[in-house]
Amino acid sequence: MFAPEGVDLEHPNVARVYDYYLGGKANYAVDRVFGEKALERYPFVAAAAKANRLFLHRVVRYLSKQGIRQFIDIGSGVPTMGSTHQVADEIVDDASVVYVDNEPVAVAHSRILLEQEDVTDQHTVLHADLREPDRLWKQIEESGVIDIEQPVALLLLAVLHVTQPGHDGTDIGPQSVARFRELLPQGSYLVITHGTADDVPDSRKQEMADFGKMYDKSATPVIWRPQAEIEELFGDYELVDPGCTWTPLWHPEESGENAPVVEFDSPNDSVVWAGVARKP
Ligand SMILES: C[S@@+](CC[C@H](N)C(=O)[O-])C[C@H]1O[C@@H](n2cnc3c(N)ncnc32)[C@H](O)[C@@H]1O
């Protein structure tokens, strides 16, 4: 596979390893070695990743039906297993999506997909970073794809458990989300999924800790937050029913007709906590 400029081929990267878990091809040997080892030790991870992606599909369908036409998908990753614009375009014909990622391979693949589908007038991709919310907001405005005065859905799926070091090394993910909450216009939605080891089956607790440790030596370490901390990321926004829950439990009726079925012994085996909230 070609390597876009700036890509780190020495260390596994969360975007490409996640693509590997989903069965995608946008990954390098270093990512596959890591991914194979992770799935061999923790096979539940593949199902958890798929369930997270299927949550994305359902939430985009749900919000499109609520009248949302603008989506900002931050940490959008490699377009594997159905992307935001493809799902929205199934429901409405006037949706716009801005994809944002800081990993060059994810950005290149998203760009190629939009070009192949000839939809670059409606959707776009930014190579940018969520840790600079004001700068990113300006870039989104300048893209011309989205009217930032009108409600948008801001998607932060499986990205905030990737550590977001600021200048002093501390995780500034929550700080960035707080700024996005201020920037979003009234009537917008904030959508978050995040890995957690809270309330998971006993056998999973240690596995989650060990799985997380595997990323310490990658380019992108991870952190599993307690559910309460994930819920705090919504600030004073109003949670949409059923509130925060395990990914498979959030509006299952929004599953597409041909959606793959991912089986769990119990919903907490999906290890990803999810919620959607509206800015009042
Ligand atoms: C596990 S993937 C999730 C992909 C997709 N959101 C999903 O849930 O299917 C996390 C993505 O977040 C991206 N990412 C991590 N930190 C980021 C940052 N500071 N700014 C933008 N993207 C980031 C990674 O490159 C990766 O593509």
How is the chain split into domains, by residue range? 46-200+223-278
pLDDT digits (tens, 9 = 90+) for 145-193: 999 999 999 999 999 999 999 999 999 999 999 999 999 999 999 999 9
Residue 8 has pLDDT above 90, yes or no: no
Residue 196 has pLDDT above 70, yes or no: yes
| 8 Cα–ligand 1 center, Å | 15
- The whole-angstrom separation of Cα 27 and Cα 1 is 8
Tell me which of 3 and 254 has the higher pLDDT.
254
pLDDT of residue 102: 95
pLDDT of residue 257: 84
Is the domain spanning 46-200+223-278 CATH 1.10.1530.10? The answer is no
142: confidence class by pLDDT, cuts 50, 70, 90: very high
Residue 1 has pLDDT above 80, yes or no: no
CA distance readout (Å), 280 to 128, 242, 251: 28, 17, 21
pLDDT of residue 17: 94
Atom of ligand 1 nearest to the CA of 13: 25
29: confidence class by pLDDT, cuts 50, 70, 90: very high
Residue 4 has pLDDT above 80, yes or no: no
Q: Which two structure tokens, joined as six digits, stand for 94?
A: 């006037």
Q: Average pLDDT, whole number, for the chain?
A: 95
85: confidence class by pLDDT, cuts 50, 70, 90: very high
| 101 Cα–ligand 1 center, Å | 6
7: confidence class by pLDDT, cuts 50, 70, 90: confident
| 68 Cα–ligand 1 center, Å | 22
Instruction: Return all residues near 195 (Cβ < 8 A) that are at least 6 apart.
Output: 48, 158, 161, 208, 212, 222, 224, 225, 271, 272, 273
pLDDT of residue 98: 98
Write the residue with the smallest CA distance to atom 8 of ligand 1: 157
Output the ligand 1 site: residues, CB below 6 A. 14-15, 18, 52-53, 56, 74-77, 100-103, 106, 129-131, 157-159, 162, 164
Instruction: Return all residues near 181 (Cβ < 8 A) that are at least 6 apart.
Output: 190, 235, 237, 279
Residue 3 has pLDDT above 80, yes or no: no
| 220 Cα–ligand 1 center, Å | 10
Write the residue with the smallest CA distance to atom 9 of ligand 1: 53
Mutate which of 86, 102, 160 for ligand 1? The one with the most ligand atoms within 8 Å of its CB, which is 102
Residue 116 has pLDDT above 90, yes or no: yes
pTM for the whole structure: 0.97
| 162 Cα–ligand 1 center, Å | 7
